[in-house]
Amino acid sequence: MIDETADGPHSGGDMDNDKRYTIGFDLGGTKMLSVVFDADYKVIAQEKARTPPDGDPAVILEAMDATVRKSLKTAGIAFDRVNCAGIGVPSPVDRAAGIVISTPNMGLFQYPMKKELEAKWGVPVFLENDTNAGTYGEFRRGAGKGKKHMAGIFVGTGIGAGIILDGKLYCGASGYAGEVGHLIIMEGGPLCGCGQYGCLEAFSSRTAMAKDAVALASAGNMPSVFKQAGSDFKLYKSKMFELGLKENDPNVRKIIERSAWHMGVGMANLVNILNPELIVLGGGLVDRIGMPYLETARASMQGHLMAGIAKSVTVVLSELKELAVPLGAACIAREETK
């Protein structure tokens, strides 16, 4: 697949000077992923790295630059053959100005990332909110290919989503559309990280599930797969829930079912408002658990909708998984450059 010889597999032939490669980048809170795509969006190379935890924008930018250059080196491609780059960031973005509005964990506030990266790379750079990019990736090249009205919902430490209406990404009046994680599904329910009570994220995110697991730990009822995380909710990984389910641990199953059931309530609200033909479920946790999560969420959604409406929407798992964000960001960048 990937030839790491000095010349590389892409340096010969008539297309030598064509700028036909696109960078797709997923900047996450804990790790980052750079992918080099060819003209047909085939993956030529990809590199992962840890996101520096100290919240210094200059340090984060350096790490992004190094990861992108490493992926190009692996691909055997020089930067002058890249046509553009798309970056998915965990923040609302000002697309026109190329500004990351706010990622508290990374210390990026009103940060002009487009300008900074264009100065480093010499190619047009486009920013998009990560879950919007992931939804767009599924819409253009994944589970949503050929659809016009759809939503993508991604479950990880938080819950993010993207909405496609009439074949276009819907961003809202100020770019905040699609905050499905903060749909209030139980007024006065558990406290959410956003400061409100009863948000979907406070029930269904991996963080919420980890808090349930910590409650078991404090009652001396800890499933064995959670031993290494103990009472620190930050140490719970999607993989542990996957393992617990495989071992058929009844408490792990209960926690997963509770998350998926409430997800179905959120999905029903979304369907009532938008009438999408498709909902794609993805993100680290759902990618790990797969069909058991989807089936519970779908059954709950159907139970919370009128029969006719319930039949109008299909629910599927993400096809692109961790490539959804880089691929969607690359598609957006290339379409904007045209």
Q: Which of 83, 259, 257 is nearest to 181 (CA)?
A: 259
Which of residues 92 and 144 has its CB atom nearest to Zn ion in the complex? 92
Task: Tell me which stretch binds Zn ion (CB under 5 A): 66-74, 130-138, 190-198, 232-240.
Answer: 190-198
**Beta carbon of residue 130, minimum distance to Zn ion (angstroms, whole number):** 17
Which of residues 196 and 251 has its CB atom nearest to Zn ion in the complex? 196
In angstroms, rounded to a whole number, what is the distance separating the alpha carbons of residues 235 and 231?
9
Task: Tell me which stretch binds Zn ion (CB under 5 A): 88-96, 115-123, 130-138, 174-182.
Answer: 174-182
A 10 A CB-CB count for 258 gives 16
In angstroms, rounded to a whole number, what is the distance separating the alpha carbons of residues 148 and 146?
7
A 10 A CB-CB count for 231 gives 12
Which of residues 126 and 203 has its CB atom nearest to Zn ion in the complex? 203
In angstroms, rounded to a whole number, what is the distance separating the alpha carbons of residues 208 and 191?
10
**Beta carbon of residue 200, minimum distance to Zn ion (angstroms, whole number):** 8
**Beta carbon of residue 294, minimum distance to Zn ion (angstroms, whole number):** 23
**Beta carbon of residue 197, minimum distance to Zn ion (angstroms, whole number):** 9
Query: Given candidates 93, 199, 255, 294, which one binds Zn ion under the rule CB under 5 A?
Result: 199
Task: Tell me which stretch binds Zn ion (CB under 5 A): 7-15, 199-207, 269-277, 278-286.
Answer: 199-207
Q: Should residue 194 be labelled a site residue for Zn ion when binding is judged by CB under 5 A? A: yes
In angstroms, rounded to a whole number, what is the distance separating the alpha carbons of residues 232 and 222?
13
**Beta carbon of residue 182, minimum distance to Zn ion (angstroms, whole number):** 4
Q: Should residue 329 be labelled a site residue for Zn ion when binding is judged by CB under 5 A? A: no
Which of residues 15 and 194 has its CB atom nearest to Zn ion in the complex? 194
Residues sharing a CB contact under 8 Å with residue 223, sequence separation 6 or more, in sequence order = 213, 216, 244, 249, 251, 252
Query: Given candidates 192, 260, 270, 325, which one binds Zn ion under the rule CB under 5 A?
Result: 192
* Residues 296, 330 contacting (CB under 8 angstroms): no
Q: How many residues bind Zn ion (CB under 5 A)?
A: 5
Give the tokens for residue 271: 């369907």
Task: Tell me which stretch binds Zn ion (CB under 5 A): 160-168, 193-201, 212-220, 246-254.
Answer: 193-201
Q: Should residue 119 be labelled a site residue for Zn ion when binding is judged by CB under 5 A? A: no
Query: Given candidates 10, 81, 182, 298, which one binds Zn ion under the rule CB under 5 A?
Result: 182
Q: Using the 8-state DSSP alphabet, how is residue 147 labeled?
A: -
**Beta carbon of residue 210, minimum distance to Zn ion (angstroms, whole number):** 16
Task: Tell me which stretch binds Zn ion (CB under 5 A): 185-193, 206-214, 232-240, 306-314.
Answer: 185-193
Which of residues 183 and 329 has its CB atom nearest to Zn ion in the complex? 183
Pairing mode, if any, of strands 99-103 and 31-37?
Answer: unpaired
Task: Tell me which stretch binds Zn ion (CB under 5 A): 74-82, 181-189, 236-244, 255-263.
Answer: 181-189
Residues sharing a CB contact under 8 Å with residue 21, sequence separation 6 or more, in sequence order = 10, 36, 37, 38, 39, 44, 75, 77, 81, 82, 83
Q: 3-state DSSP call for residue 239?
A: helix
- Residues listed for the chain: 338
**Beta carbon of residue 160, minimum distance to Zn ion (angstroms, whole number):** 12
In angstroms, rounded to a whole number, what is the distance separating the alpha carbons of residues 293 and 286?
7
Residues sharing a CB contact under 8 Å with residue 42, sequence separation 6 or more, in sequence order = none
Residue ranges that bind Zn ion, judged by CB under 5 A: 182, 192, 194, 196, 199
